[in-house]
């Protein structure tokens, strides 16, 4: 097994089974079918990682944006009670159109309750930790952006999820391994012992993941660039420049250590590969991605691996200042 083959096998592990992807799209599209005919709806936009093609296994939720006609909903978009009103109205319409007891379009939603920006709709048992949900977010069109409710602040905020979808599509058009590599980076993030939102890794990838060369070399370059950026005080923010930090509670005292450890192993891996020691390279990639990464046959020139050895930077639990 060479490094490229190992990455190919790992990609199969990271990717969601195509039948599950199709099922997720079908369940999401039930909302489009239900809401598009509504007079007050201007458009229904698929959003989130499934729409961008950067979803990793498993898929527990999908996102849709329900763009309402502002003339049909006077008062929406203004600070105050209209944010909660929009979420309440969306929840009521979900029950009427898609509720299991009374849905006129389909009877699939067991429970709908609103959160800060969207209504979380449970299509599975709400008590199941892995229950599949559709997050339906009401919005108003403001030129080429969207105005969405924020219950906590009792206000509406501008966002631009469509630009993120377009940017990922452009990157994937430049390099057909881009979306798959983002899924690998999300897998890596989920395996760390600090909470790192998937969107943090996706936004970092848009900035630092090259769109050329081998997957191994590109991911190594990503970890090198991202680690220096975060260690240097960089913060991951909305690429549209509208919503500020992607994850306000991300532990930036620990995140650099995780990135730097991955960087060191990735550098060793690429050096070993250039020295024709695929077995050692694959083992180093296993240190980055964990046990799910394929293991090499019991072979390889361990002397080369020893010569390339770089003592990994120790991971520290540093208290926040």
pLDDT mean over 129-156: 94
Q: Is 276 left (phi over 0), alpha (psi -120 to 50) or beta?
A: left
- The pair of structure tokens assigned to 179 is 């979306």
63 in Cβ contact with 51 (< 8 Å): yes
Estimate the crossing angle of helix 278-289 against helix 255-274, to 10 degrees. 170
| pLDDT at residue 240, as a whole number | 85
pLDDT score of 302? 47
- Quote the Cα angle for 175-181-186, to 5°: 145
Task: State residue 143's pLDDT score.
Answer: 87
**Per-residue model confidence (pLDDT) at position 271:** 97
- Extract the tokens encoding 244: 């500020």
Q: Does residue 318 register a pLDDT over 90?
A: no
Is pLDDT at 320 greater than 60 in this prediction? Answer: no
- Please state the pTM of the whole predicted model: 0.87
Classified as helix, coil or strand, 189 is helix
The answer to whether 54 and 182 have CB atoms below 8 angstroms apart is yes
Please, where are the H alpha helices in the chain?
A: 3-14, 18-35, 48-52, 82-98, 161-174, 178-190, 198-208, 215-231, 255-274, 278-289, 302-307
- Asked if 91 and 85 count as a contact pair (C-beta separation under 8 A), the reply is no
Residues forming a β-bridge with 120: 113, 135
At 215-258, the pLDDT tens digits run: 999 999 999 999 999 999 999 998 888 888 999 999 999 999 99
CA atoms within 13 A on the CB side of 228: 7
CA 206 and chain centroid, separation: 12
The confidence band for 129, taking pLDDT boundaries of 50, 70 and 90, is: confident
Q: Dihedral angle at the C-alpha atoms of 139, 141, 145, 147, nearest 10 degrees?
A: -40
Given this model, what pLDDT does residue 310 score? 46
* Max intra-chain CA distance, the chain: 73
At 299 the pLDDT is 56
List Cα–Cα distances, 166 to 140, 172, 282, in angstroms.
20, 10, 33
What is the secondary structure of 96-140 as a DSSP string? HHHBTTT-SS---BSEEEE-SSSEEEESS-TTSTT--EEEEEEEE
The structural domains of the chain, ordered by start, are 18-159 (3.30.460.10), 164-307 (no CATH)
Residues facing residue 46 across a β-bridge? 64
Higher pLDDT, 156 or 240: 156
d(CA 4, CA 182): 17
pLDDT in tens, 72-115: 999 999 999 999 999 999 999 999 999 999 899 999 999 999 89
Q: How far apart are CA 186 and CA 56, in angstroms?
A: 7
Does 311 score more than 90 pLDDT? no
The rounded mean pLDDT for the chain is 91
């Amino acid at each position: 097994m060479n490094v490229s083959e190992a990455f190919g096998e790992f990609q199969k592990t990271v990717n969601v089974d195509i039948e599950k992807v199709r099922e997720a799209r079908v369940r999401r599209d039930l909302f489009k079918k239900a809401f598009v005919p509504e007079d007050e709806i201007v458009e229904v936009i698929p959003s989130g990682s499934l729409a961008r093609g950067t979803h990793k296994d498993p898929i527990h939720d999908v996102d849709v944006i329900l763009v309402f006609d502002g003339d049909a909903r006077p008062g929406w978009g203004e600070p105050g009670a209209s944010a909660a009103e929009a979420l309440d109205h969306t929840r009521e319409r979900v029950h009427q159109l898609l509720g299991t007891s009374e849905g006129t379009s389909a009877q699939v939603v067991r429970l709908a309750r609103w959160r800060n920006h969207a209504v979380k709709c449970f299509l599975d048992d709400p008590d199941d930790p892995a229950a599949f949900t559709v997050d339906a977010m009401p919005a108003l069109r403001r030129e080429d952006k969207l105005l969405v409710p924020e219950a906590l602040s009792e206000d509406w905020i501008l966002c631009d999820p469509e630009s993120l979808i377009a940017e990922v599509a452009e990157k994937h058009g430049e390099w057909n391994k881009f979306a798959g590599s983002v899924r690998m980076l999300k897998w890596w993030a989920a395996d760390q012992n600090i909470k790192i939102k998937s969107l943090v890794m996706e936004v970092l990838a848009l900035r630092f993941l090259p769109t050329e060369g081998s997957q191994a070399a590109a991911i190594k370059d990503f970890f090198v660039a991202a680690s220096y950026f975060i260690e240097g005080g960089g913060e991951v923010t909305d690429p549209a420049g509208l919503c500020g930090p992607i994850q306000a509670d991300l532990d930036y005292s620990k995140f650099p250590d995780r990135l730097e450890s991955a960087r060191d192993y990735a550098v060793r891996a690429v050096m070993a590969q250039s020295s024709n020691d695929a077995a050692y390279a694959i083992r180093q990639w296993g240190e980055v991605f964990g046990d799910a990464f394929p293991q090499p046959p019991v072979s390889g020139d361990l002397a080369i691996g020893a010569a390339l050895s770089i003592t990994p930077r120790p991971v520290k639990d540093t208290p926040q200042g």
